[in-house]
Amino acid sequence: MMSRKNDVAAILKAASEQHKEIKAKYDDALRNKSMDLKIPVKNLMENLRSSLDYMAHDIYEACCKPSRSASAQPDPKNIYFPYAKTEQDFRSHVGAVLPGLQSQSVAVYDLLLSIQPFKCNNTWLYDLCSVLNENKHERLVPQERKETETYSVKGQHGSVTIRRGPGSSVTSKPGAVKTFGVPAQFMGDAIASDPRGGLDHVITRWVSFMFEGTNINVLGLLNKSVATIQEFVDELYKNIS
């Protein structure tokens, strides 16, 4: 088998550099509210997806092809890295693009399974592939700048945090409730408390870019994808090299 391991490493090295540049530009964009990151983000995501598909071909050649060749079965029409929202869909996709994988290598099958959203409780893989599909085949997906504020009251025994802005509707009469034993008043998107109670009041502003029409944080998705794919590479090639 001619492994693509070195190619994957080269792609991920380039992706890592792109990731660093985007993080620096991202901070600038948050400050000046004007920088367009669509193309750099698209390029990074394409490199990440390419690394996944290269690995899928190595998985097929190492784990699936030998038994299929021995029984004169043809190669699949398409080989790509499988991803799915449900385990049923995942099994179907694996059967189509990496036929026989589960019976030939349980370890590799379980490794693929481990990063699926229904297994790891994180949708980064599905989000990466679905957003990239729109970038490649329909248009560059715009990124929207969103600001969120939270209001927190903190004491020795914990904290209470509410989100500020439209839709905040937590209200009470003065002194009707207590926060950690201190008389307080909920005022929609803020909390007042008796100053003698010694509670700390903190306003935190969160600023981020989201893919348009989604709740997917751009930098959060890239951070998770880059880190997890690198971990996946290391584990995969321990099993197929």
- Residue 90's contacts (CB-CB under 8 Å, 6 or more residues apart) are 82, 83, 84, 113, 116, 118
Name the β-bridge partners of 191: 186
Name the β-bridge partners of 186: 191
For residue range 65-93, what is the model confidence (pLDDT) as tens digits? 999 999 999 999 999 999 999 999 999 99
Mean pLDDT highest for which of 104-113, 190-199, 209-218? 104-113
- The region that residue 65 occupies, defined by phi over 0 for left and psi between -120 and 50 for alpha, beta otherwise, is alpha
- Residue 199's contacts (CB-CB under 8 Å, 6 or more residues apart) are 153, 154, 155, 179, 180, 182, 193
Residue ranges of domains in the chain: 5-142+212-240, 144-208
Does the pLDDT value for residue 137 go beyond 50? no
Residue 107: pLDDT band (50, 70, 90) is very high
| Chain length of the chain | 241
> How many Å apart are CA 21 and CA 68, to the nearest integer?
44
User: What is the DSSP secondary structure assignment for residue 139, as one 8-state letter?
Assistant: -
Closest CA to 229 of 18, 50, 20: 50
Average pLDDT over residues 98-123: 97
> How many Å apart are CA 230 and CA 112, to the nearest integer?
14
Say which range, 40-49, 114-123, 154-163, has the weakest mean pLDDT. 154-163
Element (H, E) at 178: strand 177-179
| pLDDT given at position 138 | 47
> How many Å apart are CA 177 and CA 45, to the nearest integer?
49
Does the pLDDT value for residue 168 go beyond 70? no
For residue range 183-202, what is the model confidence (pLDDT) as tens digits? 878 777 777 777 777 878 77
% residues pLDDT > 70 (the chain)? 83
